[in-house]
Amino acid sequence: MPETKALICMPASFNGYVVPGSLPNKCSKCGQPVWVSPSSWLICHDNPGIAIFCTLCALAQVKKAKHPKIEAITPAQAEEIEEYHRTVSQ
């Protein structure tokens, strides 16, 4: 089975923090609306055809894969996480 590149995104139904500048999209598997952050759009731009999965579909894919390769977060993704922590600690 060929390796599938996928980006995991938070479902739009999640009532938590949404990174400013995030745009709605849909899960490639189930069609559920998801939020795609600005750093994730950069990943999509650099990887044409990458699948966008909601967290539930991503978990199912990881469970099916025998040896899933999970990439490290990018510096831009780390900045978004740090921004979140600054926001909630104020």
3-class secondary structure per residue, 42-54: HHHHHCCCCEEEE
HSE on the CB side for 76, CA within 13 Å?
Answer: 9
User: Residue-wise pLDDT tens for the chain (90 aa)?
Assistant: 456 789 999 999 988 899 999 999 999 999 999 999 999 999 999 999 999 999 999 999 888 887 788 889 999 999 999 999 998 887
Alpha carbon distance 14, 12 (integer Å): 5
- Indicate the pTM of the whole model: 0.84
Element (H or E) spanning 60, and its range? helix 55-64
Q: Which residues of 30-43 are buried (b: 16+ CB within 10 A; e: fewer)?
A: eebebbbbebbbeb
